[in-house]
Structure 1
Amino acid sequence: MKLTDKELEVVEILSKNARLPLETIAKMVSLSIEETEQIVRKLEEEKVIVQYAAIVDWRKIDGHEGVTAMIDVKVTPKRGVGFDEVAERIYRFPEVKSVYLMSGAYDLSVVIEGRSMSEIAKFVSEKLSTLDSVISTTTHFILKKYKHDGTVFEQGDQDKRIVMSP
């Protein structure tokens, strides 16, 4: 889908902050509120804008820290459908947050979330590795998030003053 310059501007603005009021976005792109609303509606209908989501730092909420793992999956593609069929079987599990087709040593990268490492281990051993097309898996646990979807987590109280020397 080819977007106009104004439509592209709206997409870029919403991708950075989807909570901006329509009036503010309209001013930023020099359009009327009605024109901006039509662009947003079109982008939603065409599934260019798929969903609006909040980025949450779960570590700050007691009892909800959870565990995130990235799993490299080597699979045997099926004739006629390639990797799509096994990817669909994987992304239908509720624990799975993302599935990507990758280049390199592994075919799929799967991101899952669970309450504990043992819950993720159980998912890998009982659900993921038992799928017919899955040859092997390598699980990586995320220990700390520094930046996610362009948002930096906890920069700390760094001194942001410019250093001056005589």
Structure 2
Amino acid sequence: MYSTKQNVGKIVITALFAALACVATMIIKVPTVGTNGYVNIGDTIVLLSAWMIGGVYGALAAGIGSALSDFISGYGSYVPGTFVIKFLMALVAYLVFVAIKKANTKDSKGMNVVAYIVSGVVAEVIMVLGYFLYESTLLGYGLGAVPSIGSNSIQGVTCLVLGFIAIFALEEAKVIKLVKKFV
């Protein structure tokens, strides 16, 4: 059973990660060809939300922060799609990460690396396919959304690398243990 202090801590950490996702998404924006979207580094925080907070709270941090960035930046038509895509990215990344760690009988650092890589790749595939489907159908770009696959793939790979660097640095600095006290 969670105490009130733990619940407040979880909400505060979730809000902090939502704010980080918003800022990371807004700090670098490179317009994509054909769909009026943009490439950013916000997925780095989406992945960290999955790995450090996990579950619904990590998914909410990812979805709310990323969608808020679209809203603030004037990409209103992307807000609902971004919320769903980033929420699913973080939730599925967390579930894959946990499943891989549970399947491992030994708690080895090497298995953590595999769990981070596989869960991160799955999350970024969700992002690339999610935006293609959203842009081609709900936003009405049809096949005009195809070029966004390349742009989003570049974003995905970049954020995977940044996410791996960040998670290993945070592990080394014992920040993850601190965050886990609240979540």
Mark yes or no: TM-score above 0.5: no
Is the radius of gyration larger for structure 1 or structure 2?
1
> In proportion to residue count, which structure has more helix?
2
> More strand by proportion, 1 or 2?
1
**TM superposition score category, shorter chain reference:** under 0.3
Q: Which has the higher contact order (CA 8 A, sep 6+)?
A: 2
Q: Given the two structures, how large is their TM-score scaled by the length of structure 2?
A: 0.23
What TM-score do the two structures reach when normalised by structure 1? 0.25
